[in-house]
Amino acid sequence: MLPPFQRPKIYLAGSGVYFPEERITNRDLLAKIDTTEEWLDSRIGIRERRKAPAEVNTSDLGALATRVALADAGWSPASVELLVCATSTPDNLIPATASFICQKIGMNPVAFDVNAACSGFVYGLAVAQSLMQTVGYRRALLCTAEKYTRVTDYTDRSTCVFFGDSAATVALQPEEPQLGAEVVDVTMRNYNEGAALVQTPVGGYFMQDGPRTKEIALEAFTSSAGEMLRRHGLAMRDIRAFMGHQANLRVLETVGEKLGVSNGQHWYNVDMFGNQGAAGVITTLCGGIRARAGELRHDDWLLCTVFGSGFTSGSALLRWIDRR
Enumerate the active-site residues: 118, 245, 275
Q: Are 154 and 33 in contact (CB under 8 A)?
A: yes
Q: What is the DSSP letter of 7?
A: S
Q: Across the chain, where does the E strand assignment appear?
A: 10-18, 22-25, 48-51, 82-86, 110-114, 140-147, 165-173, 179-190, 198-199, 207-208, 239-244, 301-308, 312-322
Cα 183 from Cα 317, distance rounded (Å): 6
In whole angstroms, give the CA distance from residue 125 to residue 92. 22
What is the CA 287 to chain-centroid distance, rounded? 12
C-alpha distances (whole Å) from 170 to each of 100, 125, 203, 265 are: 18, 9, 30, 22
Are 79 and 139 spatial neighbours (Cβ–Cβ below 8 Å)?
A: yes
* DSSP state string for 121-175: HHHHHHHHHHHHHHT--SSEEEEEEEEGGGG--TT-HHHHTTB-EEEEEEEEESS
Question: Smallest Cα–Cα separation from 314: which of 54, 37, 121, 97?
Answer: 121
Separation of alpha carbons 91 and 128, rounded Å: 21
Phi and psi of 189, rounded to 5°?
-155, 140
Cα distance between residue 46 and residue 250, in whole Å: 9
